[in-house]
Structure 1
Amino acid sequence: MNKLKAITAGVMLALGATGAEASINSGLYPNVGELFVSIFDPDANGGLGRTYFRDLDVPLTDVLNAGSNWTFNVNLAADANYAGFAGQTDLQYNIAAVYTLESDSLTNIDQWGFLATGSSFNGGFNNVGDTISKIQAYISGLNTALGGNVSGVVDNGLPQSWDDGNWGPLMGAAPSVLASTAGGVDLATLFFQVTNNTGDNSDGIVNQIAGRWLLSSNGTLEFGPAGSSPVPVPAAIYLLGSALAGLTLVSRRGQKA
């Protein structure tokens, strides 16, 4: 445990520089980080690309505590900032949240780390800490662009943009990310907790969060069990159902008379 505390102190010094965030919580203990999404349209901005990002306002611990019961749904198309992204089919996205380790008593040892979409990660202690630093640096850039708002849009070349090594599939080229974290439109994308409660840099824990993310072309972003997406029911069907119910009621009243 002394070894773990010593390593933790170094990681916390590296993370402390990110400071408190104005909008998306960067998870600097004791504050719990929040989920956020970055969505990239490679065809926008004359083919140079454009990034949409949003604070999903969900604490990392809410996801962990709910376990297999956690679900989420938001209609991004209702956001004016998403107007240029709605209906696009070649979008790429990833979702993440972070929570730094309490450096003294290690009270959050089982919840510290990060959540991210992806498929393969290195859960070594130093790798987790490095990835958290990368995510926090990106969050800092996002909050600068958000200016207290829920969402924002930036073109290629700015620190908040998806590409140029700032974020994208490799999350700022963090060495602990061993595979692309990017999802696509209408493709099920997995979600993981990457943590470490041993202090051993070769003994990491990567836990899949039960369910999958799905970004639909209509702008719906949701998390839930595989195959759980509700089939949209046209308004005409509801009207037909109401009409049938009304006819049934009239028929029953006629029989009683």
Structure 2
Amino acid sequence: MKFNLNKLVVALALTAAAGQASAAVVPASTGDGDLFLTTWDPVASVSYSRDLGVSLSSFLSSATPAAGLTNTFAGDALFQSAFANSTASNISWNIVAGDNVLSSGQFNYTTDALRILTTSTVAPGTGFIFKNSSLTGATNNINNFQGYQVNDPVPLGTGCGTNPSCVITNPTDPGFGGNTTWGSNFGGNGTPSNVGTGFGSSLYFYYLTGSGTSGTIGPGSNAIQTAFANATGDGMWSLSSNGTATYAIPGVSAVPVPAAAWLFGSGLLGLVGIARRKRPV
């Protein structure tokens, strides 16, 4: 299943938000968490997280315009200092947003109840699998992981509770990107890897939610897995060495009209004008 929305006006709003970082991480427990980038180097023992300032719902409504879209989320000085001594091949990264709040009458596997946006190495239609049973654990781990970003960085006051980005340098901390509660698949919830390696690599992007309309849907059923794409191609995330994250989806370019066709058209108009002048009154 793919998104194929033509909402250019809303897409422009998302473009405007791309350059704006929020004051702190907006977690999944709000019911509409922000997209956030996590990058880590287990060899250098450094993990970095940054809120990208765009909510899950805002992204859903604007990420696949037919005209195409490129949003750039600029890196910051903290990213560059954190990975100044890292080797690119040791870098792992992903981009995620979550919603782990159930509204009245919703169940864990109700469509659009628990929600996830996530990068993935798996191309659409080539074996991406995420079960309903993984939604609860994954959304809870997203929210818990974001909580560690807020509370665990040292010294105190440098966390993502008051800053859009923060760093953790203890690999055993549950807020470290390579920790077993995060890693490449939300701590073992879901089979696809959502992690890119190094800089310049690209990842696909998916929306995950339950596949049922009641509490009777089985946990073993596949969740709804929707790839971001339009008729031209797939939406992709990439990360540069300065920490700039870019989301891009191709668009349909206007078909150029050859000069000969314009000349032919103007010639036809001239003939029509002559014919009109010769028409008897």
Contact 2:114 2:136 in 1 (8 A): no
Partner of 2:4: none
Residues 1:163 and 2:183 aligned together: no
Residues 1:72 and 2:79 aligned together: no
- Change over 3 Å in CA distance of 1:79–1:170 after alignment to 2: same
Letter in 2 for 1:80: L
Partner of 1:23: 24
| Aligned match for 1:193, one of 204, 207, 225 | 207
Residues 1:152 and 2:176 aligned together: no
Residue by residue over 1:189-230, the C-alpha shift from the partner in whole angstroms, topping out at 9 and shown as x without a partner, is: 111111114134214210012310001224321101269xxx
When the two chains are superposed, the root-mean-square deviation of aligned CA atoms in Å is 2.7
Deviation at 1:171, TM superposition (A): 2.0
Deviates more, 1:123-132 or 1:218-227: 218-227
Residues 1:132 and 2:139 aligned together: yes
Contact 1:159 1:166 in 2 (8 A): yes
Contact 2:129 2:192 in 1 (8 A): no
Contact 2:236 2:247 in 1 (8 A): yes
- Change over 3 Å in CA distance of 1:188–1:33 after alignment to 2: same
Look at both structures and tell me which one has the larger radius of gyration over its CA atoms.
Answer: 2
Identical amino acids, percent of aligned pairs: 25
Contact 1:32 1:61 in 2 (8 A): yes
Partner of 1:19: none
Deviation at 1:74, TM superposition (A): 1.5
Residue ranges of structure 1 left out of the alignment (5+ in a row): 1-21, 228-257
Residues 1:102 and 2:102 aligned together: yes
Contact 1:124 1:200 in 2 (8 A): no
Contact 1:121 1:194 in 2 (8 A): no
Deviation at 1:125, TM superposition (A): 2.9
Contact 2:119 2:205 in 1 (8 A): yes
Residue ranges of structure 2 left out of the alignment (5+ in a row): 1-22, 154-158, 230-234, 252-281
Counterpart secondary structure, 1:83: helix
Residues 1:207 and 2:222 aligned together: no
Partner of 2:119: 117
Contact 2:34 2:51 in 1 (8 A): yes
Residues 1:179 and 2:186 aligned together: no
- Change over 3 Å in CA distance of 1:203–1:182 after alignment to 2: closer
- Change over 3 Å in CA distance of 1:169–1:200 after alignment to 2: same
Contact 1:72 1:222 in 2 (8 A): yes
Counterpart secondary structure, 2:203: coil
Taking the aligned partners of 1:127 and 1:84, their CA distance within structure 2 comes to 32
Aligned length: 198
Taking the aligned partners of 2:113 and 2:61, their CA distance within structure 1 comes to 9
Residue by residue over 1:125-152, the C-alpha shift from the partner in whole angstroms, topping out at 9 and shown as x without a partner, is: 3321121111111111111131411111
Taking the aligned partners of 1:103 and 1:80, their CA distance within structure 2 comes to 37
Deviation at 1:157, TM superposition (A): 2.0
Taking the aligned partners of 1:51 and 1:226, their CA distance within structure 2 comes to 31
Taking the aligned partners of 1:188 and 1:135, their CA distance within structure 2 comes to 22
Counterpart secondary structure, 1:25: coil
Taking the aligned partners of 1:153 and 1:106, their CA distance within structure 2 comes to 36
Letter in 2 for 1:32: D
| Aligned match for 1:216, one of 240, 243, 247 | 240
Letter in 2 for 1:208: A
- Change over 3 Å in CA distance of 1:132–1:55 after alignment to 2: same
Residue by residue over 1:134-188, the C-alpha shift from the partner in whole angstroms, topping out at 9 and shown as x without a partner, is: 11111111111314111111112222112231322132222xx202211121111
Counterpart secondary structure, 1:116: strand
